[in-house]
């Protein structure tokens, strides 16, 4: 009996030991073998983690242009997966986006590794889940990930196969965050609104420079933040992350290398963060946004480990500083509701800079081996270290006064749809009515000569502000500026916004003429009108007598008559921007 009991106890202990070992084991990844996860492998990987750990949940969040769902993986220490409950418990939410350009797959593998590590409590990572919940989009650009080839990004140092940059509709998803032409971007917006993340990371690879660093970093323009949040970001969060990457991970990081002139790098400039980029989008919702850009020429395993290290440091920092991050965001959200002005375009301030340590390579002239073209290259056998300028300050270029609300006619349904997806609350006018609004005439703009993202982008927009009565129809939308989405609403509806709906051609049809006249048969109608309107006849005769050119040109005479008849009211709507600005409450 004693032997049987001992045997039974031993079996229980062995079973428990094996179970613990299985639970702590991590599914194998192949980045050390210069291979990246396919989309199917990545989803199966997260499904296995979902099945194994109570703290993990894999859910589908909308559809992509590839006809496949967009997945979201949530890691929560207490098993709570409802963002409202997570926020109510005072935890930060970190959202990590991967594979927006599937030819840059480091984040796909690094996030998978991180998810397995934190769930298995490797390196004691699980303690950070006490104050922080991590959400991961395993692969954002599903269509690009399904189109794999060894020839995509052919100058990249691994992995063996990579995905395509553009999605199934041939859109670059990192230019689609606000205009949201793709299903992918609209699904992402739903995720972002659902989670309301405090910290956001988008993982990339860069081929725009060459130097000794593996990891470069784009951080949200601090000027987009309210002052206290900006100070924390510049003086505490960013230095803390840079320091940990260097001192703990032995992987020194540098700001994204965007240099001022070709050749040896003597200065780098800050990244102008348009709202259509991922971090520009996250800034519209007062999140702390980051984008890792690992260097294309470094070996793939090294790039994955660099991305993985940054993910660990970002989650660690977000957990240790959870209360302050939440406090600053809450204050920023409160101030967003009260803002009287908004910046809709920025320009670099060349009078200010910081100094950074830069580890580069000497630049030398060379001749290409096939075409014999003269060019240059960075000689890796001649490394150097220097302290250079980093121009990372921006100043407002276009500032607009906030209206109390915008009015968008029912006809512009694509605009309304996107506003709704991004959390904008609105109500419809109950009856046909006339309201006094502030409106814009578009006096000038410059359409692009070639398409970008399927649009002929409008820039250099000049407006003339008018206050006038405008007739609105039952069903038109009033969108008040008293909500979480204020920054998105203003950014997208202001015509001088560098990323707004006007820039992306959503409103181009109003730039065309309305009706005009046909010379055929027009004069017979005019004669009848002149015969019955003595005042119009007198004004016409006076104008013709005083203007010799008009008297000599029948077409000019017809134009004058058209523009002075009631029908020409239609033409006054030409170039009148259809979005009204309600500056005070209407009864």
pLDDT digits (tens, 9 = 90+) for 16-66: 433 443 444 445 799 999 999 999 999 999 999 999 999 999 999 999 999
| Residue that wins the pLDDT comparison between 375 and 236 | 236
Looking at residue 25, its pLDDT comes to 43
Band (532; pLDDT cuts 50, 70, 90): confident
Alpha helices in 235-287 (DSSP H): 238-247, 278-283
The conformation of residue 152, written as its DSSP 8-state character, comes to: T
Residue 496: pLDDT over 90? yes
* % pLDDT > 90, the chain: 82
Band (584; pLDDT cuts 50, 70, 90): confident
| Neighbouring C-beta atoms of residue 6, cutoff 10 Å | 10
Three-state secondary-structure class, residue 498: coil
Residues 6 or more apart whose Cβ sits within 8 Å of residue 527:
none
Q: Is the dihedral of CA 549, 555, 561, 565 positive or negative?
A: negative
Band (536; pLDDT cuts 50, 70, 90): confident
Q: What secondary structure does DSSP assign to 88-112, as a single string? A: HTT-EEEEEE--SSTTS-HHHHHHH
Peptide bond just before 102 cis, omega within 30 deg: no
What digits encode the pLDDT tens for the residues 198-231?
A: 999 999 999 988 999 999 999 999 999 999 999 9
Residue 287: pLDDT over 70? yes
| Residue that wins the pLDDT comparison between 5 and 347 | 347
Domains of the chain (ranges; CATH) run: 12-164+176-248+278-338 (3.40.630.10), 403-587 (no CATH)
Distance CA 480, CA 478 (A): 6
To the nearest 5 percent, what fractions of the chain are helix, strand and coil?
Answer: 40, 25, 35
- Strand order across the 580-582 sheet: 427-428, 477-480, 405-408, 580-582, 433-447, 458-472
| Residue that wins the pLDDT comparison between 377 and 1 | 377
| Residue that wins the pLDDT comparison between 517 and 314 | 314
Structure tokens at 184: 């992918």
Tell me the average pLDDT across 287-297: 98
Helices (H) and strands (E) in the chain, counts: 17, 19
Is residue 143 within 8 A of residue 65, CB to CB? The reply is: yes
The conformation of residue 576, written as its DSSP 8-state character, comes to: B
Looking at residue 555, its pLDDT comes to 81
């Amino acid at each position: 009996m004693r032997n049987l009991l001992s045997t039974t106890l031993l079996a229980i202990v062995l079973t428990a030991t094996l179970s613990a070992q299985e639970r702590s084991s991590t599914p194998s990844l192949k980045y050390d073998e210069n291979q990246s996860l396919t989309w199917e492998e990545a989803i199966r990987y997260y499904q296995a983690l979902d099945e194994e750990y109570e703290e993990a949940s894999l859910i589908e969040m909308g559809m992509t242009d590839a006809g496949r769902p967009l997945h979201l993986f949530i890691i929560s220490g207490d098993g709570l997966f409802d963002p409202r409950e997570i926020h109510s418990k005072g935890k930060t939410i970190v959202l990590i986006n991967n594979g927006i350009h599937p030819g840059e797959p480091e984040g796909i593998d690094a996030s998978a590794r991180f998810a397995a590590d934190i769930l298995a409590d490797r390196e004691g990572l699980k303690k950070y889940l006490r104050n922080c919940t991590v959400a991961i989009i395993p692969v954002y650009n599903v269509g690009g990930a399904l189109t794999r080839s060894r020839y995509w990004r052919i100058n990249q140092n691994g992995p063996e196969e990579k995905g395509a940059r553009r999605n199934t509709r041939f859109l670059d998803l990192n230019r689609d965050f606000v205009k949201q032409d793709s299903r992918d971007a609209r699904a992402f917006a739903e995720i972002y609104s659902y989670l309301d993340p405090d910290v956001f990371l988008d993982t990339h690879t860069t081929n725009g420079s060459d130097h000794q660093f593996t990891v470069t970093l784009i951080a949200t323009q601090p000027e987009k933040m309210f002052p206290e949040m900006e100070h924390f970001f510049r003086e505490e969060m960013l230095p803390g992350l840079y320091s940990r990457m260097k001192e703990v991970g032995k992987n020194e990081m540098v700001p994204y290398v965007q240099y001022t002139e070709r050749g040896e790098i003597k200065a780098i400039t800050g990244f102008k963060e348009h709202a259509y980029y991922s971090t520009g989008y996250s800034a519209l919702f007062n999140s702390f946004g980051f984008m890792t850009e690992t260097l294309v020429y470094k070996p793939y395993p090294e790039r994955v480990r660099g991305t993985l290290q940054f993910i660990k440091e970002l989650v660690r920092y977000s957990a240790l500083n959870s209360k302050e991050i939440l406090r600053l965001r809450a204050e920023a959200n409160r101030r967003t509701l009260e803002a009287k002005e908004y910046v809709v375009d920025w320009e670099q301030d060349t009078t200010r800079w910081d100094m950074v340590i830069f580890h580069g390579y000497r630049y030398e002239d060379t001749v290409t081996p096939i075409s014999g073209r003269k060019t240059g290259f960075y000689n890796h056998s001649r490394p150097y270290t220097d302290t250079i300028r980093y121009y990372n300050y921006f100043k407002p270029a276009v500032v607009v006064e906030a209206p109390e609300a915008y009015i968008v006619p029912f006809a512009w349904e694509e605009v309304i749809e996107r506003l709704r997806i991004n959390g904008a609350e609105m109500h419809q006018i109950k009856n046909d009515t006339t309201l006094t609004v502030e409106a814009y005439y578009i006096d000038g703009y410059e359409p692009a000569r070639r398409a970008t993202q399927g649009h002929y982008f409008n820039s250099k927009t000049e407006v003339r502000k008018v206050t006038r009565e405008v007739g609105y129809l039952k069903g038109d939308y009033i969108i008040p500026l008293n909500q979480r989405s204020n920054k998105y609403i203003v950014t997208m509806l202001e015509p001088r916004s560098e990323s707004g709906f006007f820039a992306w051609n959503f409103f181009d049809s109003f730039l065309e003429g309305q009706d005009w006249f046909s010379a055929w048969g027009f004069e017979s109608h005019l004669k009848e009108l002149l015969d019955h309107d003595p005042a119009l006849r007198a004004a016409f005769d006076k104008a013709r007598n005083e203007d010799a050119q008009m008297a000599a040109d029948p077409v000019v005479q017809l134009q004058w008559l058209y523009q002075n008849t009631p029908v020409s009211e239609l033409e006054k709507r030409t170039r009148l921007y259809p979005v009204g600005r309600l500056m005070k409450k209407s009864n």
